[in-house]
Amino acid sequence: MLSSNAANKQAAVARKTSKTPDNVTIKPQRMGFTFGTGVPRYWVGNSHLVSHTMNALSVLFPQGEQFFVDSVRAYRDDIKDNKLKEAVRGFIGQEAMHSLEHHAMNAHVAEQGMPVQAMEQELKALLNLIRQLPKRHQLAITCALEHITAMMADMLLERDRVREEMHDSMRPLWVWHAIEETEHKSVAYDVFQQAGGTYTERALYLLLSTAVLGSVASWFTARMVFRDRRNFSLADSARGMWRMWGWNGTFSSLIPIWLDYFRPDFHPWDKDNSALIAEFRQQIEAAIAPEYRTTHRPTLQ
């Protein structure tokens, strides 16, 4: 049997160890996506509401992922475990690439007359308020939002129907993003554990983060729908809401996975979906722009 001191040392080592599976490599990859006239206005199942919902989520990504990077980077110098240090470097690089690629998509959405710039300014103000919280609380928020993005990513990779509803011009962006969100899904959580984060902090901030994310995403979606109101249809909206939030809907079906986060022994890699990474990583190689096939350029280090 281990002595109490030995057990404490062993527990401390466990807290400092990255839990990312050894067969998962966290490396950034610039894709160089472009969005032109070939992208239909309603690119998800020809649905007005669902397409604007996804457009609204895209607006959140560049600044939201910069917040994630900042909250993790605040603890980078305290990390002793080499594997976790390397995972953090990969996480920062990948989130940088996500920001760049979604900037391109958001510019395309803005060209359609959507108030993207105003939304970005409002989001910036909100995130500046959140940055007044203690650093570990900001990291707890990142863990909560990374849980939400990871479960959405897993759903996208697992469900053929969800991917097939996306137009061919948009699908590669979201599949690539889902792959990388899955690869680094435990990095912020592992850093939070190493930083001494508590169960109360992570549980509380999942509740708060979900409420804020849902409110902001809904507000942004509503503004896009209103701006595009000449194509508004009650029937389309009803179908879209059912598709997203009805029985076994795209989002409503994720509620049990969202609840898993409240288990005291929860870890993002409790579900090992690394096989999906390998499957889709191979497929997405063809979508890399020629100038990025041999290089990647992380910018938020």
pLDDT of residue 146: 98
Q: Does the pLDDT value for residue 222 go beyond 80?
A: yes
pLDDT of residue 297: 47
**How distant, in Å, are the alpha carbons of 85, 226, 232, 275 from that of 238?**
47, 16, 11, 36
CB 26 within 8 A of CB 276: no
Residue matched to tokens 């990142």: 142
Which tens digits make up the pLDDT trace of 25-48?
999 999 999 998 889 999 999 999
Q: Does the pLDDT value for residue 296 go beyond 80?
A: no
pLDDT of residue 6: 42
Domain ranges for the chain, please list them. Answer: 44-289
- Report the pLDDT averaged over residues 199-208: 98
pLDDT of residue 19: 85
Distance CA 244, CA 239 (A): 9
33 sits in the region (left: phi over 0; alpha: psi -120 to 50; else beta) called beta
How many angstroms from the chain centroid is the CA of residue 177?
8
Which tens digits make up the pLDDT trace of 248-293?
899 999 999 999 999 999 999 999 999 999 899 888 998 999 988 8
- Report the pLDDT averaged over residues 190-207: 97
CB 181 within 8 A of CB 157: no
